[in-house]
């Protein structure tokens, strides 16, 4: 049976915490990009409607 040293456990915990934080940051970045894309799409539809109204 293999036993971990306290320093090994600290290293495993640090790596796990780092991976968790990086995952949360990546998820936040994806949500931000999706939100920006949604805002741009909404603005595009608004411009289309404004152009149609102006051409009448």
Supply the pLDDT for residue 52.
Answer: 83
Overall pTM surpassing 0.85 (yes/no)? no
Per-residue pLDDT of the chain (56 residues; tens, 9 = 90+): 466 677 788 888 999 999 999 999 888 888 888 888 888 888 888 888 888 888 87
Supply the pLDDT for residue 33.
Answer: 81
Supply the pLDDT for residue 14.
Answer: 92
| DSSP H or E stretch at residue 8 | helix 6-55
Please give the structure tokens belonging to residue 39: 């805002």
Supply the pLDDT for residue 54.
Answer: 85
Please give the structure tokens belonging to residue 40: 């741009």
Please give the structure tokens belonging to residue 21: 């934080």
Sequence ranges of the domains in the chain: 29-55
Instruction: Give the residue among 4, 3, 28, 1 at the shortest CA–CA distance from 15.
Output: 4
CA distance 33 to 44: 16
């Amino acid at each position: 049976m293999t036993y971990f040293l306290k320093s090994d456990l600290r290293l495993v915990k640090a790596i796990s915490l780092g991976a968790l934080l990086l995952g949360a940051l990546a998820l936040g970045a994806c949500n931000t990009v999706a939100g920006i894309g949604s805002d741009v799409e909404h603005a595009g539809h608004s411009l289309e409607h404004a152009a149609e109204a102006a051409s009448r």
